[in-house]
Amino acid sequence: MAQADRAAEELRGRGEAVAIVPLSTAGDRDARRTFAEIGERGIFAAEIEQALRDGRIDVAVHSAKDLTAEDSPDLAVGACLARNDPRDAWAGPARGWAEVRQGARVATSSARRTSQLARLRPDIVIEPVRGNVETRLRKRSERGLDAVLLAGCGLDRLGLTAEIGFRIDPDEMIPEAGQGVIALQVRRDEEALVASLDDSATSAALHAERAVTRALGGGCTTPVAAHAAPLAAGGWRLSGYVDRDGTIAIREVEGDDLALLPARLLEALR
């Protein structure tokens, strides 16, 4: 809803009349099983995409990382809002890795976060957690956990920045493809409805990141990550991560043309 409110505000600012239509998804309703147990990527998007096809809504607002790897032939991402903080956040009292105790208990149901956290700190005990952001924070207290790993942008959008002990640099934990990006999806050939909201740099980054994770077969069960970041001196850095049954590859490539970097990164990862 916080993401939908932001998109609606942007559209209203351009003279559009907007009504928000709340929808529930499989990922919302099943807050007990892990993402891997429910199914592949798309559990937070399928019902919203169907409402778009049925004409019940005209714009679907997604966290870009929840979209399936393959684009639907009848739908299109018409715009990406300017990217928010893509970093993962340590939602707990520690203010840095040095303050994280040995054997700390940390909750996440993300295969990507689980894999990268185990690589960074093998001593940490990782426990599954589901539910919305407020529920996960409550479970942290109820279960006596040291932290919950969440997307920093989600906590920021909900006014819960104070819950963040520290944010994890992408050089340490590569974010999910599309993390921090709000994607506005429309029926194909209706992109003009939202095109004026598009942030071109964010769209380019999302396209590159998704190209990498799509090729690697990323989803709820395979730990993969890709992140594109602009360089201070110009150009881009594209980083990637894949964990195949415990065999981990981490690579990054740089260049001026972001569209050319996914192929180079995939070759390096392979």
Active site residues: 66
Residue type for position 215: A
7 vs 87, 145, 198, CA distance in Å? 21, 34, 11
| Alpha carbons 228 and 175: distance in angstroms, whole number | 10
Side by side, the strands of the sheet bearing 247-255 are: 224-230, 236-244, 247-255
Q: Distances from the Cα of 96 to the Cαs of 84, 93, 99, 129, 166, in angstroms?
A: 21, 9, 6, 22, 6
Give all strands (DSSP E) within the chain, no chain letters.
60-63, 75-80, 88-91, 105-107, 125-127, 147-151, 166-168, 182-187, 224-230, 236-244, 247-255
Residue 214: which H helix or E strand, with range? helix 200-216
Sign of CA dihedral 111, 115, 120, 122: positive
Six-digit token pair at 86? 């893509």
CA–CA distance, 48 with 128 (Å, rounded to integer): 26
Output the six-digit token pair for 120.
Answer: 């960074």
Backbone phi and psi for residue 54, each to the nearest 5 degrees, phi listed first: -75, -10
**φ/ψ (deg, to 5) at 260:** -90, -15
